[in-house]
Amino acid sequence: MRMNRPQKRYSFFVLFALTLFAAGVIFFCRAFSAAPLNAMEKKSYTKAEEEAKEKQEQKLPLSDSGLQKKCRKIYKKNKKLLVLVNRQKALSENYEPALQAISNGRLMASSLLYSDLREMLSGAAGFGYQYWLASAWRSRERQQKLVDEDIQMLINKGMSYAEAEKEVYKETQPAGHSEHETGLALDILCSHNPEMTLAQEQEPENQWLRENSWKYGFILRYPKDKEEITEISYEPWHFRYVGKEAAEFMYRHNLCLEEFYQIAVNRAIK
């Protein structure tokens, strides 16, 4: 069927209008996609970038110089909290911890950990978990007495002195080499199971501590997979305060304190 002239003219205008509309839509979409991000979008984008960078960094090998620099920076800021005491490295005889009473005066601990300890115990209480603080600061003399008592107990069971001493030192440090002398170490037991045994590992209270203590500046000091490094048998109840920044770093990178110290102090950084 042939269209008359008015119909042709009308069709032309309709087609022209549709073409203009389509061109406008394309232009608007391109302009919008190229437009600068507003403040909120910029913030979200930056946060996403930072999170991605952090996740990538956590996958980096510990030999990475950037990671080493971060470790050293944390150490320099928190030297008082990161003092290393172990079988090979004795605590200076001049070391004097600033002590504060905890557990209603029953124990003494470093004042540096007090507020974060309260926060951690309060956080655990929110899940219905309660704890018994079995041990905190110990003097060098007290540490020696405990070592002597444990050795004598094994001698009474038939061991030689050398055998008893070797057995005791699997879980107890010699006097002058115990973290408890810093006031920064705590033996934390479940309130309904105040036995210092590996059974603590199965308790929900202990599991919560091992998963969350780093958020409050504490680390599990003698992990199961680090016995050859720490030279101490696995102790799921022994927690050490190192500060929140260092605790998070060690938790993220699966480091014990010896490994952190080795990276921060002894490895050369280019």
Report which DSSP code applies to 37: P
Helices (H), 126-269: 140-156, 161-168, 204-212, 227-230, 244-252, 257-261
* pTM for the structure as a whole: 0.75
Query: What is the pLDDT confidence band of residue 67, given thresholds at 50, 70 and 90?
Result: confident
Query: What pLDDT was estimated at residue 6?
Result: 52
Q: How far from chain centre, in Å, is Cα 126?
A: 20
pLDDT at 54 over 90: no
Q: How far is CA 164 from CA 59, 142, 178, in A?
A: 43, 19, 18
Helix (H) or strand (E) holding 81: none
Is the pLDDT higher at 149 or at 35? 149
Query: Mean pLDDT, the chain, as a whole number?
Result: 84
Q: Domain boundaries in the chain? A: 62-138+178-266
User: Mind telling me the catalytic residues?
Assistant: 235
User: Tokens 């920064």 sit at which residue?
Assistant: 184
Which tens digit of pLDDT belongs to each residue from 171-225? Answer: 889 999 999 999 999 999 999 999 999 999 999 999 999 999 999 999 999 999 9
Residue 232 and residue 171 in contact, taking contact as beta carbons nearer than 8 Å: yes
Write down the CATH number for the domain with range 62-138+178-266.
Answer: 3.30.1380.10
